[in-house]
Amino acid sequence: MRYVRLDTPKPISKIGLGTWQFGSKEWGYGPEYERRAAEIVRRALDLGVTLFDTAELYGFGRSERILGAALGDDRAKVVVASKIFPLLPVAPVVQQRAVASAARLGVDGIDLYQVHQANPVVADTTTMRGMRSLQDVGLVGEVGVSNYGLRRWRFAEAALGRRVLSNQVRYSMIDRGPEEDLIPYAEQAGRIVIAYSPLAQGFLSGRYDATNPPAGAVRRANPYFLPENLERGAELIATLREVADAHDATPSQIALAYVLRHPNVVAIPGASGVEQMERNAAAAEIDLTDDEYAALVAAARAFRPVTGLAAVPRMVRARLGK
Ligand SMILES: NC(=O)c1ccc[n+]([C@@H]2O[C@H](COP(=O)([O-])OP(=O)(O)OC[C@H]3O[C@@H](n4cnc5c(N)ncnc54)[C@H](OP(=O)(O)O)[C@@H]3O)[C@@H](O)[C@H]2O)c1
C-alpha cells in the first residue's frame, strides 16, 4: 500500500474503503452483504488500508454501525472518516450529530469529520464554529468538506481558522472536473482530494453492457448506465483493457491508478466483495507510463455520454423497459 506524503496524525492510504454500500438497500446487495461487509473491512486492514469513509446518511446510520463493529479494536489505528448531512448545520447541531456518529462508530474521536455538501443557506462561518469546538474538545481530529467548489473550500478554511484537510468529490476518468482547480490547490496547499465514485460506480470495470446493466436503485438513477451510454463507453473500456493487459491488471485497477497518479489524491472505492477490495488495494502499486496515461486521457475525452436533462426521458424509458 502507498500513503499520502503529508503530515497527518495517522498515515492515509492512497486507497481507502468507501462504505455507502454498507446497510444501504439501494445498492441491491441483499441481506447477506452485511456479513461480507465485515469481511471486506477486515481484509482492507490486512492490506494496509487506513482510510475508512462513511456518513450518517448511509443506511441512516447503519453504515457507521457496521463499519465500527467490523473495525473493532483496530478503530484507533486507522483514519475513520464520517460526514454530517448539513440539514441545519448550526454549531449546536453539528456538535450533537458528531456525538451521535461517534457513538454509532464506537470511537472516542472521529479522525476526519466532513460536511457532506455545501448548505445553500447556512454559511460555513456557522458550521465551522461547531467544527472548531469539536476539534477543541478532541472529538474531531481533522475537518473536511465534500462536494465543495474551490472558493467555498477556501472560505471554509478561513472560517475554521485551520486547515480543512480534504474535499471529497466525484472524481474518475469520466468525471475529471477536479483536475481543473481542486487537485492543483491540494498539491500547492498540502491538502487532499478524496475521490468518490472513482470507478464511476462500476461503469469503468467493463463488467456491464447494454444487455447486462447493474441492479439496484443507485445505479438505475445513474445516467452512465443507460444502454446508450454503455454502448458509447465501449471504446474507453477497450483502452482500459489494453492498458490493463500490459500490467496484468483489470480495467478497474487501471481506472484507480489513473486518479491516484496525483500525489494528493486518494480514492475510496466501494466494494461488493472481498476480492474487489483486494484488487482495489493492489491498484495503489500500479505506475502508469506517460504514454499509457495519455492514451487513457484521449479515450476518456472521446467518451461523450448523454447526461443532464437529455438523459431524463431515456432514463424513464429504461425504467419502463421500453
Ligand atoms: N461525498 C459524497 O457525496 C459521496 C457520493 C458518492 C459516494 N461517496 C463515497 O465514495 C464511495 C465510493 O463511491 P461509489 O460507491 O459511489 O462508486 P465506486 O467506488 O466508483 O463504485 C463502487 C462499485 O464498483 C464495483 N467495484 C468495486 N471494485 C471493483 C473491482 N475491483 N472490480 C470490478 N468492480 C468493482 C462494485 O459494484 P458491483 O460489483 O456491484 O458492480 C462497487 O460497489 C462510497 O462508498 C462512499 O463512501 C461519497
Ligand 1: distance of its center to the CA of 119 in Å? 24
Average pLDDT over residues 280-308: 96
The reported pLDDT for the residue numbered 309 is 74
| SS3 readout for the chain | CCECCCCCCCCCECECEECCCCCCHHHCCCCCHHHHHHHHHHHHHHCCCCEEECCCCHHHHHHHHHHHHHHHHHHHHCEEEEEECCCCCCHHHHHHHHHHHHHHHCCCCEEEEEECCCCCCCCHHHHHHHHHHHHHCCCEEEEEEECCCHHHHHHHHHHHCCCEEEEEEECECCECHHHCCHHHHHHHHCCEEEEECCCHHHHHHCCCECCECCCCHHHHCCHHHCHHHHHHCHHHHHHHHHHHHHCCCCHHHHHHHHHHCCCCEEECCCCCCHHHHHHHHHHCCCCCCHHHHHHHHHHHHHCCCCCHHHHHHHHHHHHCCC
Ligand 1: distance of its center to the CA of 162 in Å? 30
The reported pLDDT for the residue numbered 320 is 67
- Ligand 1 atom nearest to 19, measured from its CA: 45
Q: What is the pTM of this model?
A: 0.97
Average pLDDT over residues 209-231: 92
198 lines ligand 1 (CB under 6 A): yes
Rounded percentage of the chain residues whose pLDDT exceeds 90: 93
The reported pLDDT for the residue numbered 322 is 56
- Enumerate the active-site residues: 58
86 lines ligand 1 (CB under 6 A): no
Q: Which of 20-34, 104-118, 297-311 has the lowest mean pLDDT?
A: 297-311
Ligand 1: distance of its center to the CA of 6 in Å? 25
Rounded percentage of the chain residues whose pLDDT exceeds 70: 99
Check pLDDT > 80 for residue 315.
no
**Contact (CB, 8 A) for 165 and 171:** no
Q: Which of 50-54, 114-118, 311-315 has the lowest mean pLDDT?
A: 311-315
Ligand 1: distance of its center to the CA of 322 in Å? 28
256 lines ligand 1 (CB under 6 A): no
Average pLDDT over residues 49-71: 98
Q: Which of 26-30, 39-43, 256-260 has the lowest mean pLDDT?
A: 26-30
Average pLDDT over residues 201-220: 94
The reported pLDDT for the residue numbered 192 is 98
Average pLDDT over residues 135-151: 98
The reported pLDDT for the residue numbered 311 is 77
280 lines ligand 1 (CB under 6 A): yes
The reported pLDDT for the residue numbered 121 is 93
Check pLDDT > 70 for residue 64.
yes
The reported pLDDT for the residue numbered 321 is 65
Ligand 1: distance of its center to the CA of 132 in Å? 31
283 lines ligand 1 (CB under 6 A): no
Q: Which of 52, 53, 201 to mutate to test the pocket of ligand 1 (most atoms within 8 A of CB)?
A: 201
63 lines ligand 1 (CB under 6 A): no
Q: What is the pLDDT of residues 122-133, one digit of tens each?
A: 999 999 999 999
